[in-house]
Every structure is written in structure tokens, then in C-alpha cells.
Chain A
Amino acid sequence: MRIVVLTKPVPDPAAAAERLGPDNRLDRAASPAVINGNDEYVLEAALKLVEAHGGEVVLLSMAPATGPETMRKGLAMGAHRGVHVTDPALAGSDAWTTARVLAAALGEMEYDLVLAGFDTSDGTAGVVGAGVATLLKLPYLSSAAQIEPDPKAGTVRVRRISATGFDVLEAPMPALIVGTQLLGEPRYPSLKGIMGARSKEIATRSIADLGLDATGVGIAASRTEVASKRTPPQRGDAIVVRGSAEEAATAIVDLLTERRLL
């Protein structure tokens, strides 16, 4: 099986230092970059599928010039190689441009499955996967909790989370799947994996390589604009209750009564 995993470098959410710059665009210098957390879950699923069925996992990322630094972690987890789409003209690209660029990159790759994470921690849009699938006319299977390909039949089954449980979806491959964290915890890279990642290939593609026009991407083509930003009002300090269970329960009931919640 050939699986392409879409990955994105994002400001490390654990640092909680994400901010917008004076131009109201994401200030990438403010935080260290890491692989988007949800991408690691689909990468883990891809690695398990290739371990079971054989094949190759390729990381595909549209990212600034520093992209390969974050991609190394995915390679250390076990991905075989990477494709890094980078170009100064791509800075400030929105979800729609990102989808078009990734679709163009996929156009010159071979794959049975394309996997994408549920959303990214910086933009939280979660629409790029659907956009790519639509552009490439690939079957689109989203909110996946489980992925079961049948390479002989050339089909894939996905358990999609529904409002009341799960829907079992089935489609022919190639297909694009957006996964959730229910796929299972990502592995930590082993020391051997980290060492091996250094020599794995990361191919670089510019937008000209992909046959795209520089005026149709980046800030110039972005459809949205942040007009203002503010810090949300903080809750006042919490009332701290210590004491017996009985006293604590009384304090809760009193607050509920005061706020007319009973």
C-alpha cells in the first residue's frame, strides 16, 4: 500500500505562545514549530497499515523553508520519505489555496490512500481534506475512528463517528480519509528511528514545479482577513471550597441557587 499523509508544521500548542503578529497573521517566529498533533494520529494509522500490508508512507507538507525540521519527527516515527512543497509566494495561503497546492502535489504522486488529521491546532478549520478530495474527485471518508483497507479488493472501510454511534463507510481506493484521535495514540520515535530519519529523502517542490501560478497563491489569493483581535474576558478567581463533603455540597447548592440554576 502506498499511503500519503498530509502534515503541517504548527506552533507548539504546549508552549501556549501562539499569537498573531501586527499584520494579524500567525506569527510563526513566536513559537517553536511541531508536527500538528492530529496529523500524528493519522500517521500512526498509516504506519500500522503499512506494517500489516507492506508498502510505503510518504509525508506531504506545504510549509515554510524550515518545514523539513518538523517533518523529521514523522520520518523518525517511521514514514519512509517526505515531499516538501515550499515557495516564498505561498506565505499567507488560506485553506482553499492550501487544498489546491496539495492537490497539485498529489497529482504527481502515486497512492492508494491519502490521510489527513481531523484539523490543525493553529487554524482548526479541518476543511483542507474535503477540498483536496473534491479537487481530485477522490472518495472522501471523514471523522474516521478506524481504517480497514482490503488491498485485494481495492477497497477501504472506515468507521465514521456519527451523532449516535458509527457509520461504516466503504469506497474504492484511491481515497482520501480524514482521521480522528480515536485511531489510537501515536508512537514515540525510537532512537534508531531518529538516527535513521536523518538520511531519509525529503524532496522539495516549488509552485513552478507543480505548474501553479505565483499570483494565485499566498496572501494575494487569500479570501479572508482578520480585522481585530482581543483577549477574552477572564473569569474572576474561583471560589475555593475546602471542608467536609457535606459543607462542600452545601456550597455548591448555594451557588446554584444564587445563580438560579436549580
Chain B
Amino acid sequence: MAGIWVVADTNADGSLARIGAEVATLARTLAKAASADATGIVVGADPTGAATELATYLPRVIAVTDAAAADHAWAAIAAQRAAEVIDATGPTLVLTGAGPDGRDVAGTLMALLDGGVLVNATGVKWDGGEIVEMSVFGGRLVTTSHFVEGTAVRIITLRPNVVTAEAGASPGRVEGVTPKGELTLPAVKVVDRIEEASAAAPIEEARVIVAGGRGVGGTEGFELVGQIAEALGGAVGATRAAVDSGWIPYAQQIGQTGKIVKPRLYLALGISGAIQHKVGMQTAETVIAVNRDPDAPIADFADMIVIGDLFEVGKALLAQLKAKSG
């Protein structure tokens, strides 16, 4: 086989994204099972930091320096540069994250390398070939898929929190590469980057998430949500309704149009549990809901549902948590 390749996601500051480390760990595991080589690819204006970090997970990392990545949309550039270094003679596995950047990379690579794509994997194993697990139809069905024989380039995007990132036995080597030629796809200019004020911890990485929905009622309500999250050492999440109301930034949105999370604890305050929200959090290990409505859909996929006023219960919970830790 022509190897297992990782197109690594990076953060805005150029460091390796956690999903990048998770995908790299998966690639290393698969490479061992398939007796193949695993190679990481980092594309950026200054890829060195992320590449060095990625090399703790993979035996070989290619760092492609492309100055255009500094002020242009990243995915199309990353996909083109990755396509230049990937051995596409096949069978070739290309892994990336299932976030907005990863899906753009996957879709672009699909067209550049004439490849097949399986997205949003919730697990990938190797048993003579790739076995890709996916959750479909809003979580009502789990499927396993593979690429049909003769598919040279096999692109898979992996959901966050499916794999636990673990460094390899020894750090790999980093090879610096300069781009082979002009970009053939139009580079889209980034004319401004707007940071949304959000003191909240990133939800994709959180072990505990305290999330609020329409029932939280406003920004003041989210202060209580934030206090409970802090007491539990977790992050604040929200439903689309809460984000649309402007109570909390989009970065905290969980669900179909937000982020897919998989924390150990999901405490849902004033969240009814509409299907669009459910798909973002249903794989949380423990789900506790506080809701006035005993018939709210979330009761069907929670471990505990507390029927009551979220402010009264929330304040009492906060007091008990503080008393416990104090």
C-alpha cells in the first residue's frame, strides 16, 4: 500500500490542533496494523512548530511552507500542497479532521486526486483493509463502510474525541519542503480576522460541558451556567436557539450546525433536546438534564432528568459543589 497520510489541522496561532494529534495517533495505529508507513503533512506560512509537534505522534512529517497560507483561506492551499506530496498510486489512505477545515480539505483532495471519501468517522480499524464506522440518520444507525476495490485514494475525516492522542515511542523526523509550483486553484483572500470575545474554554476539548438552551433566557442566565461549568472544571456549551438569540458566541454552539462533542459529563440546562442538538452531544458518557418539562425529548437520551426550574436547581447545585470543594 502507498501509505497512510495525515493532513494536519492547525490552530489560528499555527500550533497543532488537538484533532490533528488525534488523527495522527489513529494513523500510527492503522499503519502498524497494515504494515504501512504513516506520514504527516503540515501546510502553513510557518509550519515548523506544528510539524515538530506532529512528529511526536508520527515517524515522518513533511512541513510545507507556503507564504500564501498567511492571508488566504487555508484548506484549498493545504489540499493542493498535500496533493503534491501524497503518493497517490494507491491504495493510499488520507486522514484529516472532520471540522469545517477538514471537510474542505477532503472535498478538494477528492477532486484533485480523483479519490473516494468517507466523512465524520466515529472509528477506523484495520482488518485486511479499512473499516470505517459512522453514525448516521441523527444517530439512529451505526454503519461500517470501506472503499471498493480499485479505489486508489481513500480519504477519511475523523470526528474529534474518537481517538485519544498519544505520542509515539520516539519523535519522528521533520522534512521541510518548498512548494513545487504555482497554485492552480484560486486563492481566496482573508481580508480580516474577527475574534469574538469569549472567555470560555473550547468545547471540543472539554471533559465536562455545562450547556444552556432557550430556557436559560439570556446572558444573565448564562452567567450561572458559566459558574457551574467553572465549579465542575468544564466548558460552557449552548444550543442554536441560545446562540441565535445572541446570548453566547457561535464558538460554543453544539449540534448539527455547531460542534460535535463527546465529553465525560454533559449537563444540559433548559435544553429540550431537539434532534439538531442531539446529534452534537449524544455520545457524551453521562448526560444530566434539568428541565421544567418532563416530556422534553432529552429525557429519552439522558441518564438523569431533573424536573424543575434550572435557576433554582442550578443555584442549589452550585452551592453544593462549592461546599464540597471548599
Against A, the Cβ 8 Å flags (1 = close, 0 = not) of B292-321 are 001000011111111111001101110111
Beta-carbon contact of A161 and B250 below 8 Å: yes
Partner of B140, one of A96, A122, A231: A231
The segment from B57-65, B113-121, B163-171, B216-224 that touches chain A is B113-121
Beta-carbon contact of B140 and A226 below 8 Å: no
User: Which residues of B are found within 8 Å of A119, using beta-carbon distances?
Assistant: 103
Within 8 A of A (CB), among B235-289: 240, 249-251, 257, 264-265, 267, 275, 285-289
Partner of B305, one of A134, A137, A172, A239: A239
A135 vs chain B, min Cβ distance (A): 5
B119 vs chain A, min Cβ distance (A): 5
Partner of A241, one of B194, B257, B306: B306
A243 vs chain B, min Cβ distance (A): 8
B135 interface residue (CB < 8 Å to A): yes
Within 8 A of B (CB), among A128-153: 128-131, 133-135, 137-143, 145
Beta-carbon contact of A164 and B142 below 8 Å: no
How many of chain B's residues have a CB under 8 angstroms from any CB in A?
A: 91
B5 vs chain A, min Cβ distance (A): 17
The segment from B22-30, B46-54, B143-151 that touches chain A is B143-151
User: Which residues of B are found within 8 Å of A138, using beta-carbon distances?
Assistant: 186
B141 interface residue (CB < 8 Å to A): yes
User: Which residues of A are found within 8 Å of B76, using beta-carbon distances?
Assistant: 130, 134, 140
User: Which residues of B are found within 8 Å of A72, using beta-carbon distances?
Assistant: none
B199 interface residue (CB < 8 Å to A): no
User: Which residues of A are found within 8 Å of B317, using beta-carbon distances?
Assistant: 248-249, 252-253
B85 interface residue (CB < 8 Å to A): no
Partner of B303, one of A229, A235, A248: A235
Contacts A223-B116, A253-B324 given; indicate if A239 touches B303 (C-beta within 8 A). Answer: yes
A51 interface residue (CB < 8 Å to B): no
Beta-carbon contact of A245 and B316 below 8 Å: yes
The segment from A11-19, A58-66, A186-194 that touches chain B is A11-19
A162 interface residue (CB < 8 Å to B): yes
Partner of B110, one of A127, A164, A181, A182: A127
User: Which residues of A are found within 8 Å of B79, using beta-carbon distances?
Assistant: 134
A112 interface residue (CB < 8 Å to B): no
Beta-carbon contact of A170 and B188 below 8 Å: yes
Interface of B is mostly: mixed
Contacts A126-B107, A134-B185, A255-B286 given; indicate if A224 touches B304 (C-beta within 8 A). Answer: no
A262 interface residue (CB < 8 Å to B): yes
Within 8 A of B (CB), among A13-55: 13, 16, 18-20, 24, 38
A215 vs chain B, min Cβ distance (A): 14
Beta-carbon contact of B142 and A245 below 8 Å: no
User: Which residues of B are found within 8 Å of A172, using beta-carbon distances?
Assistant: 186
Minimal Cβ-Cβ distance residue in B for A100: B111
A210 interface residue (CB < 8 Å to B): no
User: Which residues of B are found within 8 Å of A16, using beta-carbon distances?
Assistant: 137-138, 140, 275
**In the complex the two chains form, what is the Cα distance from A182 to B196 in whole Å?**
15
User: Which residues of B are found within 8 Å of A228, using beta-carbon distances?
Assistant: 143-144
Minimal Cβ-Cβ distance residue in B for A124: B120
Beta-carbon contact of A224 and B12 below 8 Å: no
Beta-carbon contact of B251 and A165 below 8 Å: yes
Partner of A167, one of B131, B154, B193, B275: B193
B11 interface residue (CB < 8 Å to A): yes
A172 vs chain B, min Cβ distance (A): 8
Within 8 A of B (CB), among A92-109: 94-96, 99
B100 interface residue (CB < 8 Å to A): yes
Beta-carbon contact of B186 and A137 below 8 Å: yes
A169 vs chain B, min Cβ distance (A): 5
Minimal Cβ-Cβ distance residue in A for B103: A126
A227 interface residue (CB < 8 Å to B): yes
Beta-carbon contact of A259 and B12 below 8 Å: no
A208 interface residue (CB < 8 Å to B): no
A-B contact pairs, 27 of them (CB 8 A): A13-B275, A99-B111, A127-B103, A128-B107, A138-B186, A142-B104, A163-B202, A163-B251, A164-B196, A164-B251, A165-B195, A169-B189, A181-B240, A225-B146, A231-B140, A232-B140, A232-B142, A238-B304, A238-B305, A241-B305, A246-B316, A251-B306, A252-B306, A256-B232, A259-B265, A259-B286, A261-B265
Q: Which residues of B contact A (CB under 8 A)?
A: 11-12, 73, 75-76, 79, 100, 103-104, 106-108, 110-112, 114-120, 131, 135-148, 151, 154, 184-186, 188-196, 198, 202, 208, 232, 240, 249-251, 257, 264-265, 267, 275, 285-290, 294, 299-309, 312-313, 315-317, 319-321, 324
The 4 closest A-B pairs by CB, nearest first: A223-B116, A130-B107, A127-B107, A134-B111
Known interface pairs A16-B140, A259-B285; 18 further A-B residue pairs with C-beta atoms within 8 A, sorted by A's residue number: A20-B143, A99-B111, A124-B120, A130-B75, A131-B107, A139-B186, A140-B73, A140-B75, A140-B108, A140-B185, A141-B188, A142-B73, A170-B191, A235-B287, A240-B304, A240-B307, A248-B316, A252-B267
